[in-house]
């Protein structure tokens, strides 16, 4: 029987619902994907990018408190987040659409 995502520290019912919308149905599947692939799936499913949500996910999959990320580790995670966000924005949009979206001028697809 699959384990609910909400059994992972830091991830509650709202996270579980967001992952379900992204097609990730269990804690086992989330762990197998890893934080970056799972976060890309969230973005592709329409979740708005949010750095704290990303690093909370990383900490969750490491079994650490969500706010345990500091200093150089947090800076490195910010770079990973920015890369994921840019990659997700490029999918299905022209460069001008991605730029306008980054400015908040057009609606997200």
* Domain range for 21: 5-103
pLDDT digits (tens, 9 = 90+) for 59-85: 999 999 998 989 999 999 999 999 999
Spatial neighbors of 92 by CB under 8 A, at least 6 apart, are: 109
pTM score: 0.80
Q: What are the backbone dihedrals phi and psi of residue 68, each rounded to the nearest 5 degrees, phi first?
A: -85, 0
The CATH number of the domain holding residue 79 is 1.10.150.20
pLDDT digits (tens, 9 = 90+) for 14-49: 999 999 999 999 999 999 999 999 999 999 999 999
Q: How many domains does the chain have?
A: 1
CB 44 within 8 Å of CB 30: no
Question: Is 86 within a domain?
Answer: yes
């Amino acid at each position: 029987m699959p384990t609910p995502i909400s059994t992972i520290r830091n991830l509650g019912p709202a996270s579980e619902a967001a992952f379900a919308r992204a097609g990730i149905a269990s804690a086992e599947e989330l762990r197998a994907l890893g934080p970056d692939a799972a976060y890309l799936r969230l973005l592709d499913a329409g979740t708005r990018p949010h750095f704290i949500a990303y690093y909370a996910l990383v900490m969750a999959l490491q079994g650490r408190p969500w706010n345990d990320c500091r200093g150089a580790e947090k800076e490195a995670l910010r770079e990973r987040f920015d890369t994921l966000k840019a990659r997700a924005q490029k999918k299905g949009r022209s460069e001008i659409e991605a730029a306008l979206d980054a400015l908040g001028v057009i609606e997200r697809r």
